[in-house]
Amino acid sequence: MKTRQDAWTEENDLLLAETVLRHVREGSTQLNAFEEVGDKLNRTSAACGFRWNAVVRHQYEKALSLAKKQRKQRHRILGKDQGGKKKLLYQPPTPSFEDLDAMSLSMSEAEEEMEFAEYENYVPETEQLGKETEEAVQDFKVEASEEHAYVAQQAPAANHVVKPSGLKGEVTLEKVIAYLQNLAQTNMNSDYVKIENQRLKQEISDLRKENAELEKKVKALENNSVTMQEDYETLMQIMNRARKLVVFDEDESKAPRFKMDRNGNLEKVAE
C-alpha cells in the first residue's frame, strides 16, 4: 500500500493535540493553535483545523474538557485584569508579497488535499464524515467569531484594522482561508496594543508607589502634630503652676506680723 508523502503521521497528530490543548488551557484560541502547527508542519491552518476536528479531537475529548476547566480556573484566579478575553499565544510572521502570491497559488492545492484526505480516510463512513464535517465547520465559525471580537477590542483605531470579508452565510473553505489571511494582517496591530498596555501598567505602578510615599509622609506629619500638641499642653500646665506659686509667695510676704508683750497685748512688728 502506497503512503502519501504529505500524509499525517502520529507525531504530527500528537503535536497538533498538544498545541491545541496548550492554547485552550492558557486562554488562547484553536485558530491560533492551528496557525502555529501549520507553520511548524508547513501546512495551512485550515488543513490543521480539519485534521483536528475530523480525526484528532475525538481522541482527546477528556483532555480538551480538562483544559477548558483549567482555563476557567485561571480566569477566576486572575480576576478582572483578564476579563475573560482571549489572548493569542502565537504571533505568525508577517507574510511578504511573494508569500501572499504563493499562498494564493497554493489555495487550490490545499482544497485538493482536503478533498483527497476526506475521501481517502472516510469513504467507508460517509454518514459519520458528514457529521464530523459539520462539527468542524461549526467550530471554525465559533473560533472565528471569538478571534474577530478580540481583535476588534484590542485594535488602536478602526482605520488600521483590515476588516475581513466576513463569514456571513454558508461557511466554506475559501471563506475561512480568506478570513485567516486578513486576520494575519490585523495581528500586527496587537504589538502596538501590548506596548501601550505595558506603558500604562508601568505608569499605574509608579503612581501607586508615589501615593504610598505621600501617605507615609502625611501619617508622619499627623503624628508630629499630635506630639507637638501634647508638648504644648504640658508646657502650659507647667507655666500655670509656676504663675500660681509666684502669686502665693507674694501674698505670704505681704502678710502682717505681730508679737505679744508682757501684758498679753499684740503689737504689729514693723517690716
Under 8 Å between Cβ of 132 and 52:
no
Region of poorest pLDDT, from 38-42, 117-121, 180-184: 117-121
What does the pLDDT look like over 55-72, one tens digit per residue? 999 999 999 999 999 988
Residue type, 13: D
75 compared with 262, residue with greater pLDDT: 75
Cα→Cα distances 263→258, 266, 269, Å? 14, 9, 16
Distance CA 49, CA 66 (A): 20
At 18, is the pLDDT very low, low, confident or very high (cuts 50, 70, 90)?
A: very high
